[in-house]
Amino acid sequence: MWKINLFLLCFHGILYIFLFFHFGAMKTCVLYFSRTGKTRCVAEAISGSTKAPALDITSCEPLVVEDYDVLIIGTPVEGFRPTKEILSFIEQMPQTKGKKAIVFCTYALWKVGTLKTLARELSKKGYSTILSVSKRGVKPDKTDFSSILDQVRRATEE
Ligand X SMILES: Cc1cc2nc3c(=O)[nH]c(=O)nc-3n(C[C@H](O)[C@H](O)[C@H](O)COP(=O)(O)O)c2cc1C
Residues forming contacts to ligand X in the complex (CB under 6 A) are: 34-40, 76-80, 106-111, 138
Please list, in sequence order, all residues whose beta carbon lies within 8 angstroms of the beta carbon of residue 72, skipping any fewer than 6 positions away: 28, 29, 30, 31, 43, 46, 50, 52, 101, 102, 103, 104, 152, 156
Residue number, 44 or 69, with CB nearest to ligand X: 44
Amino acid, res. 114: T
Instruction: Decide whether 138 or 152 has the Cβ nearer to ligand X.
Output: 138
3-state SS class at 36: coil
Which one-letter amino acid corresponds to residue 19?
A: L
Would you say 100 or 117 has its CB closer to ligand X?
Answer: 117
User: CB 31 → ligand X: shortest distance, Å?
Assistant: 13
Strand-strand pairing, 99-107 and 70-78? parallel
CB nearer to ligand X: pick between 25 and 109: 109
Minimum CB separation from ligand X for residue 15, in Å?
A: 42
**Nearest approach, Cβ of 34 to ligand X (angstroms)?**
3
Least gap, CB of 55 to ligand X (angstroms): 15
Give the whole-angstrom CA distance, residue 17 versus residue 124.
Answer: 34
